[in-house]
Amino acid sequence: MRGCTRLLGCALLGFSLGAVAKTSSQTAPDALVRTSHLPPASTGLIDDTNAAPRAPHRTLTVLHRPAARATSHLRVHRVYAAVAPRGSIATQEGLHTVDTGPLALQSSVALVMDESNSNVLFEKHSDVALPIASITKLMTSLVVLDAHQNMEEMVEVTDDDLDTEKGTHSRLAIGTVLSRRDLMHIALMSSENRAAHALCRNYPGGLPACLAAMNAKAAQLGMTSTYFNDPTGLSKENVASASDLAKLLQAASENPTIREFSTDTGYTVPVGRHMVAYHNTNSLVSNPGWDIVVQKTGYIVEAGKCLVMKAKIEGKTVLIVLLDSVGKYTRFGDANRIKKWVESKPGLFDASHITGSEPAVGVEPIHVTS
């Protein structure tokens, strides 16, 4: 029996040697630590897919060997060590502060604007250029529509549309063939990355010409803090200020196709032999209390949760931009807080409410240079 026990102990020890490391001074010197489970660190998967990424962690197996007696067995304990996720650029710049004003917004950046006269009703860090994630797809769709390509033309999803930036998953299998219209529909409504990339790749002149058109369009709209490096928003180099995004939101809302696709609640497309159902990433579009004209969500780690909307509130059209919200539902909560605030201020839209010499309600803008 004693021999069997000794053999079992040796087998366990031998199994652990390949992945074992002596612990630091925080652990007894006669203990051994083996990493038995290590999920990949967060890669910034966008929340416009089915599930947000879970916080990364390591599971450590600690093998204790009593020092006072000969080793005949090992006592096994498991220790869970959390790995701190990376923060957004806004958080790194110190912009993530909870608003203590009447709205109590939790987004790092916010802008509320009266569309009729461009009066700023509320703003918070609205001039800071930050990553904008999948809000990018509004510009991608805008330039594709400006090119007047045949929306019924069939476009194939290829290996060129794979996400090499973040490694995100897509339900559009390689080899899927959809019309340009269907690709744009799910790109705007469900933030489908391969769809957006395929649209830009099949732009006249290819991907480089599409990106050039996106940056040229931004300049044309007066988006002076904006730059596009890819058509999906997966790149952290896609940046814009909230003030710039209000201009993009306004331009996108003038196109009926973007209005229709971005606010649709659901759509089904054929992928191989199956029909795949997509849903809107913005739950507010199906809320009867909201009248949304155009919208887009976005998320990568560097951008945080983002939301832009043009909506009608109290008979007035309002532009709302929210960047770097923390938590799955915070941006939608902030949007609801803005709506209630606007509804509670009947004189908010009076031309005399905000003058050129009077600061906007909220926090003074912070200018960050890189």
> Which among 16, 108, 134, 241 is annotated as catalytic?
134
Question: In sequence order, what are the beta bridge partners of 322?
Answer: 110, 307
Q: Is 357 designated active site? A: no
Rounded Cα distance, 200 and 125, in Å = 31
How far apart, in Å, are the Cα atoms of 354 and each of 112, 113, 117, 220, 315? 13, 11, 11, 27, 19
> Which among 137, 296, 305, 310 is annotated as catalytic?
137
Q: Is 241 designated active site? A: no
State which amino acid sits at residue 343. E
What 3-state class would DSSP assign to 182? helix
What 3-state class would DSSP assign to 308? strand
> Which among 191, 235, 253, 262 is annotated as catalytic?
191
Q: Is 283 designated active site? A: no
State the residue for tokens 């409410």. Answer: 353
Q: Which of 315, 357, 316 is nearest to 116 (CA)?
A: 316
Structural element, H or E, at residue 76: strand 75-82
> Distance from CA of residue 202 to its chain's centroid?
24
33, 27 in Cβ contact below 8 A? Answer: yes
Q: Which residues have a catalytic role annotated?
A: 134, 137, 191
